[in-house]
Structure 1
Amino acid sequence: MKTTYIQLSLSAFLLLGIYSCKKGEATTTENYAADSTAAVSLSDSVSSVASMKVKDKQFIKTADVNMEVKDVYDATISIEKTVQDLGGFVTHSNLQSNVISQDTYNTSDNDAMLIKKYQTENTIQARVPTEKLGELLVKINDKKLFLNSRTIHAEDVTSNIKYAEMEGKRIKKTEENISQLKANKDKVKLDNNNMAEGNLQQLANMDTTDDIKYSTIDIYIKEPKLRIAEIAVTNTRNIDNQYKFNFIYDAKNAFVEGFYLIQKIAVGLITVWPLLLILAAVVYFLRKRKLTKPETTKVSE
């Protein structure tokens, strides 16, 4: 009896252990599935490069987006407003319509319709605080019909910043050394060159700081299909036909132009009078020679 009790106790303990293990495995699986879902959702919305942060590292981040949208104008207004709401600013926006073809169709004697087929596109360059780059990319992604390409680049400039600090110290040390020299032309030249180098270094530092603080994003958007514009215009062909020919007016001009032509011919003949005189003399000489030529008599046999 005691042996049976011990066996039952061991069986119950083993079943309890197996149940606990199964429950722990199920919990772990559920947590992993939830984490995987969250990771996929984040990767679908924006690349981790846009929001990447590494301790003791400084990055200059840029992005390039090429996509197709339903309406370029509406998308442009929305993107520019989003950039401003995130604390950024637009540095370039070039919205234009490329005309593929245009034809004019006459609808009446006076009216016509100009049909234009065109495609609208826009190139936008904006700058946003670097910590807002990922959020901007998510909101831009909501406007797309089709994403052609998206490039996100993070340049590690930590070593460049360290080098700039060392250069600043070197320029400062050079300034102290120059100040100890005697005043002469060479000292003025050295001091001027060192100051110019220091100014360039400060400018480079400011540019790097600004590029780290604000990320640059280039956005190219276009509409996937052609649009058609119908523009009411005047029937120019009918108007041209109305004024193309006027008999009385054209006849009068022809008579006047004929009179001017006679005058031009007369003036032209007067201009070449030496040639006419020479020609008259040649004709006169030939005719006179022909008249004075002795007649040949025929001898009869």
Structure 2
Amino acid sequence: MKTNYITLSLSAVLLLGIYSCKKGEATTSELKSYEASTDSAAVVADSISSAASMKVKDKQFIKTADVNMEVKDVYNATISIEKSVQDLGGFVTKSNLQSNVVYEDTYNTSDTEAMLIKKYKTENTMQVRVPTEKLGELLTAINTSKLFLNSRTINAEDVTANIKYSELEAKRNQKTSENIEKIKTNKDKVSLGDDNMSEGNLQKLNTMSMADNLKYSTVDIYIKEPKLRIAEIAVTNTDSIDNKYKYNFIYDAKDGFVYGFYLIQRIIVGLINIWPIVLIAAGVVYFLRKRKAKRSELSKSSEQNS
């Protein structure tokens, strides 16, 4: 009996030891798994804002973002962002890339050649839309192009109540439509039906718009270059061309002779056009001279008589 008791005791101790080892191995495995998942979550949290990837049970969010940053090359950054948006299943709704010239001047390098120097800054204002679940990935992709991040804003608007209200309004609209059908047909019924249909269409439009905003997040992006760029453009020396054709003596002399000839013609034609005035003026002058001559003769005859 005593031997059986000792055997049972040894068996129990052995089993407990094996169980403890197994439990310890399981606990170590779970801990390692938990630490790995925690490290992975930390990496994700470092690269993506929690607002971009936030999910809450029984909640619906419309997510938008605004990014303002400086990049080395606006054109290359724009191409990279557009490619990332396309790869994530999104699309670009606006891309306004422009170069703002702050100074420009032309320097002559020879009699026929010159160099146009422009100092400018390039910037781009973009608006893109991506699937909401890909918003964090897009923000991470955009972040790779930055030299300096001026600001980044992420908004998550809770529209759960709005969705519920939209559903209730749709039911109310349907009930109103059924009640209108029961009314006897007359002018008022037509007006009520038309108003109810218009309200229903507006409600459907709002529902579709909200569904689209839930499915796709809107991201406004403004990128610019931190310093001025310089463009050197080879152009023609216009000053030498102007000096070359500014004055041509033979042509100008010929042109002056022709102009003088036509001027004489214009004067003659002008005199012909005013011939009545010329004729009247000639008559007045003739009358005045004749009268003056008579006065002169009368004064001479009076002097002789005296």
Q: Which residue does 1:47 correspond to in 2?
A: 49
SS in structure 2 opposite 1:50?
helix
Deviation at 1:191, TM superposition (A): 2.6
1:206 aligned partner: 208
Amino acid aligned to 1:282: V
Structure 2 equivalent of residue 88 of structure 1: 90
1:1-301 map, 5 Å = 45-293=47-295, 294-295=299-300
Amino acid paired to 1:129 = P
Number of aligned positions between the proteins: 263
1:236-268 CA distances to partner (integer Å, 9 max, x unpaired)? 222232222222222222111111111111122
Query: In 1, distance between residues paired with 2:181 and 2:131?
Result: 42
* 1: CA distance, partners of 2:170 / 2:247: 83
Could you tell me how far 1:87 is from its partner in structure 2? Answer: 2.3
Structure 1 window deviating more from structure 2 (284-293 vs 112-121): it is: 284-293
CA distance in 1, matches of 2:252, 2:46: 76
Tell me, in whole angstroms, the C-alpha distance in 2 between the residues paired with 1:195 and 1:111: 71
Q: Distance in 1 between matches of 2:176 and 2:44?
A: 51
Structure 1 residue 126: Cα displacement: 0.7
Measured against aligned partners, the alpha-carbon deviations of 1:254-295 in whole angstroms (never above 9, x if no partner) come to 111111111111122222223323332333333333333324
Deviations 1:199-231 (A, max 9, x none): 221121111011112110000101111111111
Partner of 1:11: none
Q: What SS does structure 2 have at the residue aligned with 1:225?
A: coil
TM-score using structure 1 length: 0.79
Q: Distance in 1 between matches of 2:91 and 2:66?
A: 16
CA distance in 1, matches of 2:281, 2:193: 94
Q: Distance in 2 between matches of 1:106 and 1:93?
A: 37
Mapped partners of 2:121, 2:84: distance in 1: 24
Q: Secondary structure at the match of 1:113?
A: strand
Amino acid at match of 1:280: A
Q: What secondary structure, in the 3-state scheme, does the structure 1 residue paired with 2:54 have?
A: coil
Deviates more, 1:158-167 or 1:288-297: 288-297
Give the CA deviation at 1:112. Answer: 1.8
Q: What do the CA deviations read for 1:108-156 (whole angstroms, capped 9, x no partner)?
A: 2222222222211111111112222223222212221122222222222
In the alignment, the residues of structure 2 paired with residue 118 and residue 262 of structure 1 have an alpha-carbon distance, to the nearest angstrom, of 57
Identity of aligned residues (%): 73
Instruction: Compare 214-223 and 283-292 and name the one that shifted more.
Output: 283-292
What TM-score, normalized to structure 2? 0.77
Partner of 1:26: none
The alignment partner of 1:205 has SS state of helix
| Structure 2 runs not aligned, ≥5 long | 1-37
Flag the structure with higher helix content: 2
Paired with 2:293 and 2:191, the residues of 1 have a C-alpha distance of 108
Local SS of the residue matching 1:255: helix
